[in-house]
Every structure is written in C-alpha cells, then in structure tokens.
C-alpha cells in the first residue's frame, strides 16, 4: 500500500479500517541468501538497499528484540556531513544525499529536516581547524559556510554573547545538515524492505555462528538454525558480544552515551547547535522538546544507563551556551551503548571468516550514517568489494597505520 495524503483522507473517511501492518509478521525460513543480524537502522537500511538496488530478495533481518529498539530509537536525530578526513567525508556526504531523497525512496515520511547545523567557534585555533574542515567538505562536494560572531548572533541572538566564559567567535555551518524523526527511519526502511519480500524476524536472538573450515554457514538463533549464503552483522552496541561468538576480538570498546529531552516548548531553536567549548549540542524536535546531549560517561558499559556527573556536565554546557533554558525542564534521559572504535571511525569490511561480514564501530555517529552504511554494506554483501565511498573502513587499518582519526585522540575510544 502506498502512503499519501490522499490515502490518509480516504482512510479517515472509512474509519481507518484499511491500514495494513507496516511489515509482515513472519515465520523463519530455513535458508536465506543473506541474513542480516540486527533490526536497527543500519540492518534495515542494508536490507532495503540489498533488495531495491542490488536485487537480493531472499534476505532476512533478524532482531533479538523489536526493530528500531536500539540506538536508532534512542539518539539525538542529527544528520550532517561536516567531516574532515578523506576516509570519512565522501561517505558522510553520500549519506546526506541519500537522506535528501529518503522519503520518496521508501515512501515514508521520516521528516528529514535540513534546518542546518552550526559548530560554534571559540578560539582562533578552532577557527583554523574548522576552516581546514570546511574546505575539506567543499572540496568533497559538500556545503560549508564559515560564520563570524555577528552572523551567529543574527541567527541565535539568545546564545550567551554577554558574559560567556568562552566567547563565541563564529561558527562552521552546514545548511544541509539537520534532523530526522529517528524512529520513522527504522520503520520506513523496514516497511520498504518488507515490500520487496525481505523477511523481518523480531524476537530472534543469535546464539552462535555455524562456522566450518573458515566459512560461515549460518547462525544459531533462539528460533533455531538459519542457513545463509552470507551473514552480515550490524548490531551497534553489541558488536563485541556478537563477534566474540565468532572468535573475534575487535578494535572496539562499548561505552554509554546519555541523551536528554526537555518538556515540550514553543519553537525557539531553528537549527542544530554544537557548543565548541563544552560538551553540549542541541536541537528542537517538531514536538517542541529540546533534544540534547554531550559527552560519553567515559567507562565501558552495556548498562544502557549513565550517571549524574555527565548529566550535570551536559546541563552546565547548556546553561553556559543558552542561559535562557534554566527554567526549561529535563523530561527524559536515557543511555545507549556506543561501539567506540579505536580511531573514532567505523568498520564496514569482510572478516577473516568467509561469508561473515561486519558493519560497526560507529561510535556515536551511527544515526547520520544510516543510509550510506546500509547502502555500502549492501554493496559489500552483494559485490564482495567495498563501496567506493567506504574503502577506508577496513579492519586492518590499525595494523597498517592508516587510522581515520578525526579528533586526533589516538587509541583511546572514550576520547573520540
């Protein structure tokens, strides 16, 4: 069934009797060409592109809980391609272009909203670094704009321009950046993949891999064995646990990142702002909640919850940047598991095991990458070679010394 305004009206007049489930509720088949582990944004996007672009329809997405229940359902919904390094920028720009056509591609309104993102500048060194980055963005075909303090002030007069400890000296803007209704991304990809015949199996947890002489033949699950020509893993937050079942150690630590939503407020923030002198970034959802976040708690955790010090740190950043939010209330907070890689950049690659493919290590940048990650992983699964925009995301880059370290923090994941 195609969604459209007309459909909504027609259904409204007939008591909404005609709406079908967004995806079918199915039994497992014994074998698939490709099994994707992980019914999150990346896994579902992979299935969508596998079917739509690469013509693979004997595909299953298996999810241990409910689809979209992981980080795609819990994040700060920001999309952007304001990266510096050659290994990253083309990939994220590809992702942003896919976002721009997403609704029409999947026939689902995920409310892709290119309201713009500004990274604030507080020091000359920061301006130099952002200038280099902005240039790299433009040289890679993305958009970037360097703003001085007055330009920032015109757009965000309520930021702290009076007694800021770290005065705002400007910003690096990407107008095509913005936000997306995160849950709808998972649902939209799921519905589309389903329409192409992809099986989406919820409450199906992987308990092991069946690997014989270096080849992966399928996965053992809570619903029994599933044979597979190829197995793709896209289980943000659980990469270590899952690949451990295949006997792999990863260049990844799992950390907790908290995020926050305020009570609903009338519109105040037109776009996304990132504070350059503290750990704070914020946007406002269409429902009116301020959606904001900051830094990792800093310790390895699978608990999906954090602690007060970081909550305070983030709110201190918020108050330092926008003293007007003092009387707005924090409504909800949650913690997601971030697979922090050793250089802060992801991995989309084959593994040492034939037929087993890996997609992970997205740190806290996974959401914006969803379309390109799905597209490139689908490409790798279908063609057995990396997509041109994702050639750098290899396992062996640490061995060869080709790290992709945007922040220059080295092999300490909680600093990326």
Partner 1 sequence: MIIHHPLLGPRDSSEFVYLGDASLIDRPDWQDDDAVTAFHDYAYLRDNPAGLHRELWFHEGGDRSWLVVTRNTVTHEITGVELARDVARAQGRSK
Partner 2 sequence: MTQDNRLSGGQIDRTKTLNFKFDNRSYAAHPGDTLASALLANGVRLMGRSFKYHRPRGVLTAGSEEPNAIVELRSGDRQEPNTRATTIEMFDGLEARSQNRWPSLKFDALAINDRFSNFLSAGFYYKTFMWPAAFWEKLYEPMIRRAAGLGSLSMQEDPDEYDKGFRHCDLLIIGAGPSGLAAALTAGRAGSDVILADEDFALGGRLNSETFTLNDRPADEWVAQTVAELSAMPNVRLMPRTTVIGAFDHGIYGAVERTGDHLATLPSGKPRQILWRIYSQRALLCAGATERPIAFENNDRPGVMLASALRTYANRFATTAAQRVAIFTNNDDGHRTAADLHNKGVKIAAVVDVRPDVPINYDYEVLAGAQVVDTKGRLGLSFVEVKLADGSKRTLDCGALGVSGGWNPNVHLTCHQRGRPIWNEDLAAFVPGADLPPGLTVAGAANGMMSTHGALQSGAQAAVEALELGGALPDLPKAEDAQVSQTPYWYVPGCARAWLDQQNDVTVKDVKLSHQEGFRSVEHLKRYTTLGMATDQGKTSNMGGLAIMAELAGKSIPETGTTIFRPPYTPVSIGTLAGRMKGQEFHPTRLTPSHYWAKERGAVFVEVGNWLRAQWFPLPGEMHWRESVDREVRQTRASVGVCDCTTLGKIDVQGTDAADFLNRIYCNGFAKLAVGKTRYGLMLREDGIAMDDGTAGRMAEDHFVVTTTTANAVKVYQHMEFVRQCLFPDMDVQLISTTEAWAQYAVAGPNSRKLLQKIVDPEFDISNQGFPFMACANITVCGGLRARLFRISFSGELAFEIAVPSRYGDALMRRLMQEGEEFNVVPYGTEALGVMRIEKGHAAGNELNGTTTALNLGMGRMVSKKKDSIGSTLSEREGLNEADALNMVGVKPVNSEDKITAGAHLMDASGPVDAAHDQGYITSAAFSPSLDSHIGLGFLKNGGDRQGEKMRLVSPLTDLTVEVEIVSAHFVDPEGERLRA
Chain positions contacting partner 1, by CB under 8 A = 240-241, 244, 249-254, 298-303, 307, 309, 342, 398-399, 411-414
The separation between CA 235 and the C-alpha centre of its own chain, rounded to angstroms, equals: 12
CB of 253 to partner 1, least distance (A): 5
CB of 162 to partner 1, least distance (A): 30
Of the two residues 345 and 381, which places its CB atom closer to partner 2 in the complex? Answer: 345
What sign for the dihedral angle of Cα 374, 375, 379, 380? Answer: negative
Of the two residues 53 and 315, which places its CB atom closer to partner 2 in the complex? Answer: 315
Length of the chain: 416
Q: Which does 115 bind (CB under 5 to 8 A by kind): partner 2, partner 1, none?
A: partner 2
CB of 241 to partner 1, least distance (A): 5
Q: Which does 326 bind (CB under 5 to 8 A by kind): partner 1, partner 2, none?
A: partner 2
Of the two residues 10 and 207, which places its CB atom closer to partner 1 in the complex? Answer: 207
Q: Which does 295 bind (CB under 5 to 8 A by kind): partner 2, partner 1, none?
A: none
Distance, CA of 348 to CA of 236 (rounded, Å): 12
Distance, CA of 334 to CA of 256 (rounded, Å): 10
CB of 290 to partner 2, least distance (A): 8
Of the two residues 336 and 355, which places its CB atom closer to partner 2 in the complex? Answer: 336
CB of 90 to partner 1, least distance (A): 24
> Token pair for residue 207?
């308990």
Q: Parallel, antiparallel, or unpaired: how do β-strands 117-121 and 145-148 relate?
A: unpaired
Q: Which does 298 bind (CB under 5 to 8 A by kind): partner 2, partner 1, none?
A: partner 1
Q: Which does 240 bind (CB under 5 to 8 A by kind): partner 1, partner 2, none?
A: partner 1
Q: Which residue has the tokens 């993102």?
A: 117
Of the two residues 262 and 301, which places its CB atom closer to partner 1 in the complex? Answer: 301
Q: Which does 63 bind (CB under 5 to 8 A by kind): partner 2, partner 1, none?
A: none
- Of 227, 221, 197, 195, the residue nearest 207 (C-alpha): 221
Q: Which does 301 bind (CB under 5 to 8 A by kind): partner 1, partner 2, none?
A: partner 1
CB of 240 to partner 1, least distance (A): 4
Of the two residues 209 and 280, which places its CB atom closer to partner 2 in the complex? Answer: 280
Residue 293 dihedral angles phi and psi, to the nearest 5°: -160, -175
Distance, CA of 214 to CA of 196 (rounded, Å): 32
* Burial of residue 145 (number of CB atoms within 10 Å: 0-12, 13-18, 19+): middle
Q: Which does 323 bind (CB under 5 to 8 A by kind): partner 2, partner 1, none?
A: partner 2
Q: Which does 69 bind (CB under 5 to 8 A by kind): partner 1, partner 2, none?
A: partner 2
Burial 269-307 (b: 16+ CB within 10 A, else e): bebbbbbbbbbbbbbbbeeebbbbbbbbbeeebeeeebe
Q: What is the DSSP string of 30-78?
A: SEEEEEEE--SHHHHHHHHHHHHTT---SEEEE-SSSTT-SGGGSS--E
Cβ contacts of 8 within 8 Å, gap of 6 or more: none
> Token pair for residue 216?
């992966």
Of the two residues 171 and 240, which places its CB atom closer to partner 1 in the complex? Answer: 240
CB of 336 to partner 1, least distance (A): 14
Of the two residues 137 and 252, which places its CB atom closer to partner 1 in the complex? Answer: 252
Of the two residues 59 and 250, which places its CB atom closer to partner 1 in the complex? Answer: 250
CB of 43 to partner 2, least distance (A): 17
Q: Parallel, antiparallel, or unpaired: how do β-strands 224-233 and 272-275 relate?
A: unpaired
CA angle, 54 as apex, 50 and 58 as ends, to 5°? Answer: 55
CB of 354 to partner 2, least distance (A): 26
């Amino acid at each position: 069934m195609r969604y459209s305004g007309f459909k909504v009206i027609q259904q409204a007049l007939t008591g909404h009797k005609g709406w079908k489930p967004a995806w079918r509720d199915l039994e497992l088949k014994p074998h698939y060409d490709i099994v994707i582990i992980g019914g999150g944004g990346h896994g579902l996007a992979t299935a969508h592109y596998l079917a739509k672009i690469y013509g693979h329809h004997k595909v299953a997405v298996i999810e241990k809980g409910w689809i979209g229940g992981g980080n795609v359902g819990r994040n700060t919904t920001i999309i952007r391609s304001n990266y510096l390094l050659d290994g990253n920028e083309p990939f994220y720009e590809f992702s942003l272009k896919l976002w721009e056509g997403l609704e029409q591609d999947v026939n689902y309104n995920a409310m892709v909203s290119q309201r713009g993102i500004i990274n604030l500048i507080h020091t000359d060194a920061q301006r130099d670094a952002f200038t280099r980055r902005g240039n790299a963005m433009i040289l890679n075909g993305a958009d970037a704009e360097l703003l001085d303090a007055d330009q920032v002030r015109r757009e965000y007069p309520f930021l702290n321009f009076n007694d800021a400890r770290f005065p705002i000296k400007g910003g690096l803007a990407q107008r095509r950046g913005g936000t997306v209704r995160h849950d709808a991304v998972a649902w939209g990809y799921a519905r589309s993949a389903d329409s192409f015949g992809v099986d989406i199996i919820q409450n199906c947890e992987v308990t092991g891999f069946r690997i014989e002489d270096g080849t992966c033949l399928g996965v053992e699950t809570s619903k029994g064995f599933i044979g597979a020509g190829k197995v793709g893993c896209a289980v943000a937050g659980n990469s270590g646990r899952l690949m451990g079942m295949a006997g792999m150690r990863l260049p990844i630590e799992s950390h907790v990142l908290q995020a926050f939503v305020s009570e609903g407020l009338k519109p105040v923030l037109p776009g996304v702002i990132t504070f350059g002198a503290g750990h704070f970034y914020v946007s406002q959802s269409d429902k009116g909640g301020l959606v904001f976040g900051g830094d990792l708690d800093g310790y390895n955790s699978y608990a999906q919850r954090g602690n007060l010090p970081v909550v305070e740190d983030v709110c201190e950043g918020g108050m330092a940047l926008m003293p007007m939010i003092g009387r707005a209330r924090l409504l909800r907070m949650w913690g997601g598991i971030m697979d922090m890689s050793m250089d802060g950049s992801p991995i989309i690659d084959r593994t040492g095991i034939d037929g087993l493919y890996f997609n992970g290590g997205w740190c806290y940048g996974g959401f914006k990458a969803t379309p390109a990650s799905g597209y490139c992983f689908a490409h790798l699964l279908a063609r057995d070679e990396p997509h041109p925009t994702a050639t750098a995301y290899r396992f062996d880059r640490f061995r060869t010394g080709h790290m992709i370290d945007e922040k220059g923090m080295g092999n300490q994941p909680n600093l990326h």
